[in-house]
Amino acid sequence: MYRIAVAPGDGIGKEVIAEGVKVLQAAADAENVTLQLDYMDLGSDRYLSTGELLTDDDIKFMRDRQAVYFGAIGDPRVAPGVLEKGILIKMRTTFDQYVNLRPSKSWHPYTPLKGEKDFDILFLRENTEDLYMGAGGVLNGKEAVANMALQRGLYDVDLSLSSKASSEQEFAFEIGMMSRKGIERFADHCFETAKRLGKEKVTAVDKANVCTSLYGLWRKVFNERSADHGIDVEYMYVDAMAMALVRSPERFGVVACPNMFGDILTDLGAEIMGGLGVAASGNINPVGVSMFEPVHGSAPDIAGQGKANPIAAILAGKLMMDQLGRPDIGNMIEFAVKMAMKQKLVTADMGGTLNTVQAGDAIANIVRSSG
């Protein structure tokens, strides 16, 4: 039995998670697996009613489960960043989900690339360090002080920066920081993943020709870990990688990215395979609680209209079952998605005629018939 916390969230999150659960249950039934799905009330409605974001009780609830299946958050009634930082970011940091996993593969005929190139890329993004650590500030006037406290599990650091500006101008800055420990554990996960998938190399992305200190350590550690694991590493500057993903995505397998570059490149990876409607994501702690979600947002403009594409949420369920050690169930779900696409049993954004529920029903029925 697998105990899973289910948090549908806001907007279309409720709709697509309902279809994802439907498909998960069909696949689990086919394999005689029991899923205990325990629902959580997270998101804008609770926040507006009680002022609560991610509470200590919520965290305890998640710790007692093996994974979190998440929909989406975001609501025009709540200021941008409040829900994201108070729920999503807090969840990732609390559970130290230091790997963000996002597959990008060719879903013909929906990939927009000419020539229908076949590609199957697994992006692994370091999820806790780099330029997204919140180490920054603003300098105002001739004399200013910016204080930055870094508390991210791997750190217990207090940075104080004093600066005498040359004029009355205002300056803003952001500091990218990576630790040896953080890079080592991420690199180990990348090479172990490549070995498990039968890949001969890992492609590591950076901008070491400009940010020489930050990504110099990145390369040093990846070189060391490459030798330890017996898996080759190749390096790509992020700008060259962006071009290569459009020109020749078929040449890449496991791609390792620091946090900010990974954020950008994985959206490009989503677009070359067919858009956010098919983009799934996992926030992984390899030895702890991981969280799985569609990449898209809550889309309040179409919520409740049956227009939402449930495939990304369904594929997030596939990633969850893979991580829980049941790739057989994951493969069954992916096969059903592929067959539904082939038969045009999809929503309008992919050229089909089905609504959200009908698309979920179609995929669940394929699971049942093939299981």
Q: Tell me what pLDDT residue 149 has.
A: 45
pTM above 0.95, yes or no: no
Q: Tell me what pLDDT residue 158 has.
A: 52
Question: How far from chain centre, in Å, is Cα 280?
Answer: 7
Reported as half-sphere exposure (CB side, CA atoms, 13 A), residue 322 has a value of: 23
> Quick check: 144 pLDDT over 60?
no
Query: Of 23-37, 55-69, 139-153, 257-271, which gets the smallest average pLDDT?
Result: 139-153
Same domain, yes or no: 71 and 215: no
Residue 119 lies in a domain: yes
Concatenated DSSP letters for 215-226? HHHHHHHHHHHH
Same domain, yes or no: 4 and 62: yes
Q: What is the pLDDT of residues 211-265, one digit of tens each?
A: 999 999 999 999 999 999 999 999 999 999 999 999 999 999 999 999 999 999 9
Of 273, 307, 331, the residue that ends a domain is: 273
Same domain, yes or no: 186 and 335: no
Same domain, yes or no: 86 and 4: yes
Same domain, yes or no: 90 and 8: yes
- Please give the DSSP secondary-structure letter assigned to residue 205: E
Round to whole Å and give the CA distance between 155 and 246. Answer: 37
Residue 280 lies in a domain: no
Same domain, yes or no: 12 and 91: yes
Question: How far from chain centre, in Å, is Cα 66?
Answer: 18
Residue 216 lies in a domain: yes
Of 252, 273, 294, the residue that ends a domain is: 273
For residues 293 and 72, is the Cβ–Cβ distance under 8 A? Answer: yes
- State the average pLDDT over residues 57-65: 97
Nearest CA to 354 out of 344, 364, 342, 339 is that of 344
DSSP SS3 for 166 = coil
Same domain, yes or no: 76 and 190: no
Of 149, 175, 201, the residue that ends a domain is: 175
Round to whole Å and give the CA distance between 321 and 327. Answer: 6
Residue 36 lies in a domain: yes
Same domain, yes or no: 85 and 2: yes
Residue 279 lies in a domain: no
Domain count, the chain: 3
Same domain, yes or no: 23 and 46: yes
Residue 253 lies in a domain: yes
Residue 13 lies in a domain: yes
> Quick check: 68 pLDDT over 70?
yes
Q: Tell me what pLDDT residue 131 has.
A: 82
Same domain, yes or no: 234 and 214: yes
Ranges assigned E (strand) in 66-188: 67-72, 99-105, 120-126, 136-140, 143-150, 157-164, 170-174
Q: What is the pLDDT of residues 89-119, one digit of tens each?
A: 899 989 999 999 999 999 988 888 766 679 9
DSSP SS3 for 197 = coil
Q: Which residue has the higher pLDDT, 181 or 112?
A: 181
Q: What is the pLDDT of residues 14-60, one digit of tens each?
A: 999 999 999 999 999 999 999 999 999 999 999 999 999 999 999 99
Residue 247 lies in a domain: yes
> Quick check: 266 pLDDT over 70?
yes
Q: Tell me what pLDDT residue 151 has.
A: 44
Same domain, yes or no: 154 and 256: no
CATH of the domain at 44: 3.40.718.10
Same domain, yes or no: 293 and 188: no
CATH of the domain at 248: 3.40.50
Dihedral of the CA atoms 104, 108, 112, 117 (nearest 10)? 70
Domain hosting residue 90, numbered range:
1-98+285-371
